[in-house]
Amino acid sequence: METRNSPEPPLAPVDYDRVQHQTYARGRALPADAIDRYMAVFGAYVPVRRPLAGIDLGSGTGRFSPALADAFGGPIWGVEPADGMRAAAEADAAHPRVTYLAGRAEAIPRSDRCADFVLMFLSYHHVADKPAAAREIARVLKPGGRLILRSTFQERIPDHWWRSYFPRSADVERAMFPTEPETRALFEAAGFTTVESVQMEVPFEGDIASLVARLKHRAVSTFEHMTEDELSEGFARIDADLAAGAIVEKPTLGDFIVFETPQEPAIA
Ligand SMILES: C[S@@+](CC[C@H](N)C(=O)[O-])C[C@H]1O[C@@H](n2cnc3c(N)ncnc32)[C@H](O)[C@@H]1O
């Protein structure tokens, strides 16, 4: 009889209050034109009226929340469970139309039908109870509201410039991220329809020296599941290749799925 190996144990949750709240903003900072490019792309998928109220769900250090307010009008609520990440957002990403709130996707601290859109930017894979999150997002969105779910999916692990320096990182990411079909099925079970599954070219994030400097902050949750030996060996090879001018930045594709809540039935 064929025997199957038992599945790998699930990865431990990443505690953003341990180290990353101190490093995330610098390690994941994006040039203003990259933020603008994301807003332009997302703008094609949110409702056309302005202003739009939105929730940046898993807002972290507020990397996108002020730009969402500028692009779509607001108010924007940045909902974030890690106190340290939220404190960094309040200190360094304040905006008159952004309010940062303690909360999580499974229990969003906002009223029913308050938002025209929800953005989850690389936060969905951290959510422990994903069906509860889908129900909560359906609750806070207005009829016809949109969810933009920016995530990686197991079947399309991005080919980052740094991937070859950390050979086990792709396996780690396959264990971290959901598949696209299971994600669509989960949101469709909560009443959403899938509008589109998009693969966009990730906007230019700066020259290779600044990419290396940012990566050294280790503000990548993949690294939290790797050993210190793996990381130092990878960074030593990066330093050698950087000195030799041998690192090439290459375009990377990033995924997002757009979901929509049902429209209000027309009054007869
Ligand atoms: C990779 S960071 C992304 C932050 C921000 N969206 C960005 O792109 O800069 C992931 C964030 O998700 C948050 N998070 C973890 N569990 C969550 C949950 N259940 N609901 C909402 N956010 C969560 C983490 O605390 C962390 O700040």
Assigned domain for 40 exists: yes
Of the chain, the percentage scoring pLDDT greater than 70 comes to: 96
Assigned domain for 197 exists: yes
Q: What is the CATH number of the domain that holds 80?
A: 3.40.50.150
Atom of ligand 1 nearest to the CA of 127: 19
- 120 Cβ below 6 A of ligand 1: no
The total number of structural domains in the chain stands at 1
Range of the domain at 199: 20-157+172-204+251-260
- For 88-105, the pLDDT digits (tens) are 999 999 999 999 999 999
Assigned domain for 4 exists: no
- For 70-79, the pLDDT digits (tens) are 999 999 999 9
> Which pLDDT band holds residue 29 (cuts at 50, 70, 90)?
confident
Average pLDDT of the segment spanning 225-254: 95
- 104 Cβ below 6 A of ligand 1: yes
Assigned domain for 94 exists: yes
156: Cα separation from own chain's centroid:
15
Assigned domain for 60 exists: yes
Assigned domain for 76 exists: yes
Assigned domain for 239 exists: no
Q: Check residue 268 and give its pLDDT.
A: 61
Pairing of strands 73-80, 52-57: parallel
Assigned domain for 77 exists: yes
Atom of ligand 1 nearest to the CA of 63: 9
Q: Check residue 2 and give its pLDDT.
A: 35
pTM for the model? 0.94
Atom of ligand 1 nearest to the CA of 106: 19
